[in-house]
Amino acid sequence: MSRMAQPTIATDHGHSIDPARAPRDTALAIHGLTVSYGEKPAVFSVDAAFKAKGMSAIVGPNGAGKSTLLKAALGVIPRLSGEVYVFGETIRDARARVAYVPQSASVDWDFPTTVMDVVQMGLYRKVGLLGRLSGPVRAQARECLDRVGMADFANRQIGQLSGGQQQRVFLARALAQDADLYLLDEPFAGVDAATERAIIGVLKSLKDEGKAVVAVHHDLATVRDYFDHVFLINVRRIAEGPVETTFTTEHLQATYGGRLAATHLDELAVADGAR
């Protein structure tokens, strides 16, 4: 089917979107994304398609461009080239449908604010720059805090939280955004086992509600337990697909090169015999 023959949809900003490249049933569609901080590209010509339902992991070695991919898709950092569509719309039109959990180490936890304040930041798209935080909206923030098991900490200064608690607060803020696509940057980095269980529980419940969850993930041992879709990246896209068929020794070898011992790879990946 020729792309030329496809009808196009005009956006608010005058561009036209080719529906074949921006399918509405794909939560996050990325085409030819290239990002560079200096002369070397951090992400080079990457294509990706994350389904509208389910849990996907973005996996790759340090410096492979995992976080960069997320940030560039969100427009947090500029991209050199490429297109990004969220549920068939440009990111500018779809912001209200996307929740973002940055790496918790990326902010200053000494900032003078409380847990509740941080969660209420997630309500920004509902209340706007000058809108009041009404009772029902506040109640919603409290519910989100309850959902991550942090309701008792609402009035705590954020600097007094442990790493795991900070990560839960970030997740509660994302829940307050009430989105259809949740993008998380290393949600399990530096958290305790109880927090990891709590977070994965919330993410799985989001999946059950029909939401899309995409997480940068660094722990290869839990990929198969937590996720159903995996995207392997090392600056370029290595492989993408269901965990059972994509998370293989061969693909991991291609992603990590010599950085993982072969025996280790065999333990982690789906047995090649399954092919």
**Residue for token digits 């008792």?**
152
**E strand residue ranges, 23-113:** 26-36, 41-51, 54-59, 81-86, 89-90, 98-101
User: Rounded to the nearest whole angstrom, what is the least distance from the CB of residue 242 to other proteins in the complex?
Assistant: 28
Give the contacts of 134 (CB within 8 A, at least 6 positions apart).
none
Which of residues 24 and 92 has its CB atom nearest to other proteins in the complex? Answer: 92
**Where does this chain bind other proteins (CB under 8 A)?**
71, 74-76, 92, 95, 98, 100, 102, 106-108, 110-114, 117-118, 121, 124-125, 127, 129-130, 157, 159-160, 162, 173
User: Rounded to the nearest whole angstrom, what is the least distance from the CB of residue 111 to other proteins in the complex?
Assistant: 5
Report the candidate in 73, 67, 99, 108 with the shortest Cα–Cα distance to residue 171.
99
Which of residues 62 and 155 has its CB atom nearest to other proteins in the complex? Answer: 155
- Express the helix, strand and coil content of the chain in percent, nearest 5 each: 40, 25, 35
Which of residues 78 and 273 has its CB atom nearest to other proteins in the complex? Answer: 78
User: Rounded to the nearest whole angstrom, what is the least distance from the CB of residue 228 to other proteins in the complex?
Assistant: 25
User: Rounded to the nearest whole angstrom, what is the least distance from the CB of residue 24 to other proteins in the complex?
Assistant: 21
Quote the tokens at residue 216: 């940068």
Which of residues 130 and 274 has its CB atom nearest to other proteins in the complex? Answer: 130
User: Rounded to the nearest whole angstrom, what is the least distance from the CB of residue 71 to other proteins in the complex?
Assistant: 7
Which of residues 108 and 225 has its CB atom nearest to other proteins in the complex? Answer: 108
| Cα 174 from chain centre | 11
Which is it for strands 89-90 and 81-86: parallel, antiparallel or unpaired?
antiparallel
User: Rounded to the nearest whole angstrom, what is the least distance from the CB of residue 186 to other proteins in the complex?
Assistant: 13
How far apart are the C-alpha atoms of 233 and 251, rounded to whole Å? 10
Which of residues 96 and 271 has its CB atom nearest to other proteins in the complex? Answer: 96
Amino acid letter at 145?
L
Which of residues 68 and 248 has its CB atom nearest to other proteins in the complex? Answer: 68
User: Rounded to the nearest whole angstrom, what is the least distance from the CB of residue 38 to other proteins in the complex?
Assistant: 9
Give the contacts of 2 (CB within 8 A, at least 6 positions apart).
none
How far apart are the C-alpha atoms of 167 and 202, rounded to whole Å? 12
